[in-house]
């Protein structure tokens, strides 16, 4: 019974992009994406594009793979990403507020200081990413996995997690740690969080010398 229940509660991995194996890389810059493509990219592979600091509200990516791209400080509020892979990209300081990410893999990326405020993330995996000081306030996370990520000092205020998992992550200094309710995590991660969880729950640690009384 327990095994079946655990399987049902496990986070679902993202579906991969629907791309041909021989899809050629697309040359892309911010101006081309805005003016010629209407901030929409469907069925494309993009390598080492520099979109840093671009204003791309409502950005739409479907069945796309981005390799080694610079999206630092991008304003992509209200973006929609469906069946996408971002590998080795820089998303530092990006604004992804009120965005919707569905079936997205973010692997070996810098996502520190990025804001996902009020975003919806479904079947999203962050693998080996740096998310230090990222903003997940009011984020709705469903089947989201954090694998070997640095989540130190992330803000989880009012975030909601359903069928989500943490494995081997750096969790130092999390804000609003009580909002991790419902997250599955490895024993080592739970031990690392124990002091912070105790503080959030108002649990006091007894002095060791009390054991001798």
Residue 5 lies in a domain: no
Residue 122, domain extent: 18-201
Residue 4: the pLDDT is 40
Question: Residue 167 maps to which CATH number?
Answer: 2.160.20.80
Run of H or E residues at 197: helix 187-201
Residue 209 lies in a domain: no
Q: In the chain, which stretches have pLDDT less than 50?
A: 1-5
Residue 178: the pLDDT is 87
Residue 188 lies in a domain: yes
Residue 139 lies in a domain: yes
Mind listing the pLDDT tens digit for each residue in 92-120? 999 999 999 999 999 999 999 999 999 99
Residue 98 lies in a domain: yes
Instruction: State the residue for tokens 């230090």.
Output: 132
Residue 8: the pLDDT is 63
Residue 134 lies in a domain: yes
Question: How many domains is the chain built from?
Answer: 1
């Amino acid at each position: 019974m327990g095994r079946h229940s655990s399987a049902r509660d496990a986070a679902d991995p993202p579906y991969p992009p629907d791309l041909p194996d021989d899809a050629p890389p697309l040359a892309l810059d911010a101006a081309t994406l805005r003016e010629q493509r209407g901030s929409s990219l469907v069925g494309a592979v993009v390598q080492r594009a520099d979109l840093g600091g671009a204003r791309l509200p409502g950005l739409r990516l479907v069945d796309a793979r981005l390799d080694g791209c610079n999206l630092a400080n991008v304003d992509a509020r209200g973006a929609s990403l469906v069946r996408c892979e971002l590998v080795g990209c820089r998303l530092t300081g990006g604004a992804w507020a009120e965005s919707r990410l569905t079936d997205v893999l973010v692997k070996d990326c810098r996502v520190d200081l990025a804001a996902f405020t009020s975003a919806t993330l479904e079947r999203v995996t962050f693998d080996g990413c740096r998310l230090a000081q990222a903003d997940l306030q009011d984020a709705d996370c469903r089947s989201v996995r954090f694998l070997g990520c640095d989540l130190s000092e992330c803000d989880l205020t009012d975030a909601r997690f359903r069928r989500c998992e943490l494995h081997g992550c750096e969790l130092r200094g999390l804000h609003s740690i009580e909002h991790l309710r419902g997250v599955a995590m490895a024993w080592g991660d739970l031990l690392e969080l124990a002091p912070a969880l105790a503080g959030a729950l108002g649990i006091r640690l007894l002095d060791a010398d009390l054991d001798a009384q």
